[in-house]
Amino acid sequence: MFIMKIILALLFLMIACASSMAQQSNALFLKIENSIRENEPNWTLMNAWPGPEGQAIGYRWKLDQHEIFVMVIRERSTAEAVKCFQDDGLGQLPGRSAPLKLDIGDECYLSRSGPHTAIVIRKDDLLVRLGSDSSGPEWLSRFARHIGNALGEGTRSIKAAESFKEPLRLRPDRAQAHYELGQSYYETGDYKAAATSLEEALRLQPDFFEALVLLAKSYQHAGLYASAVSVLQKAVLLQPTNLDVRTSLGTALILAGQPQDAIAVLEEVARLSPASALVYTHLGQAYRLTSKFQEALNAFTQALRINPQDPVVHNWLGLTYESLERKQEALAAYKRAIELKPDYAEAHYNLGMLYLMLGDRAQAEQEYSILKNLNSDLAQVLSTKLRQPDPL
């Protein structure tokens, strides 16, 4: 893939220019990764390529047929970062668009050339490059905003939120202003304040579709899953052909403990959008939660036909095989999940527990030794089982 080659080439080319501030860099890289995980839970981190001494890292994120590559490099100095800032990897491609400036970091711009999209962010001595040839500017801009917040842009978003308060004081009956204020609060992670502003926007304009969708996301981040369901049901009534919103409703129903209702929603979405791995993944999870294990197996299998590289689905497939007493196939599924994502703690835990069930304590011990460096809570549970004479 073109963008992947660019990201990897730039990553290893630029490592020589990076500083040796490994500990600081690693903490920042983790903050960026977690910001994307928290704000884009449907995307899966497929690969991470750390540079030597912790000065740089590359990521590959995937959702269905969409892929986004992110490269983060700490340069020797701010001056060096400024010098390298203009290189987005698209310079030699024909038909490149004029750079579009974005308000992220100290400086940021977006470039396009045919299907290829790139965003470059500079914050002090740090450079971040995002690239994709399957996801357009909207997705890349969303990722860039999350990264900006991780780099300390939360303060800017708070200031932006404050800037909306004066227009609201003058025109408190303007739904759009309440929506924009809610959007700013959402970007800072203040989901309670975001919900309050968005609720007011909807009181003033009940058919404000974008406000409904963002309010549902705010509720979900706040753990108010039943409220998210109610809001998404209204959004579906407004735009019944919007399959993304119907998929979100299915997911919200699962989180709200209503998997049977989620099945009804997601089965219809799958019928209308048979090429979406995400829909089949959520449908399989809903089937599993209602003990319809053969149906879950069929759904996860279909999801993997569309996107065979998703470690999360392989892990859930393993759980489903276990429920069907097909333990050897479960072993293979967990191993495949780990092969795709070696730091996948849940898959290591499930594999270790299955080894114990099969009486292979040595292999279970090996999974524990890996797991204790990934997730101490899961490692503790597995360790407790290992110390029991009869772990079953």
- 96 three-class SS: strand
Determine the average pLDDT of the residues in 339-358: 92
Tell whether the model's pLDDT for residue 168 goes beyond 70: no
Which tens digits make up the pLDDT trace of 70-122? 988 888 788 888 877 765 544 444 455 667 888 788 888 888 877 788 889 98
Q: In what order do the strands lie in the sheet with 126-132?
A: 44-50, 56-63, 66-74, 126-132, 116-123, 107-113, 100-101
CA 27 to CA 36: how far, in whole Å?
A: 15
Backbone angles phi, psi at 78, to 5 degrees: -60, -40
**Residue 339 or residue 160, greater confidence:** 339
Ranked by mean pLDDT, which of 21-25, 69-73, 281-285 comes out on top?
281-285
Alpha-helix residue ranges (DSSP H) falling in 48-136:
78-84
pTM of the model: 0.66
CA 386 distance to own-chain centroid: 33
Tell whether the model's pLDDT for residue 167 goes beyond 70: no
- Domains in the chain: ranges and CATH: 2-152 (3.40.1000.20), 164-240 (1.25.40.10)
CA 88 to CA 119: how far, in whole Å?
A: 7
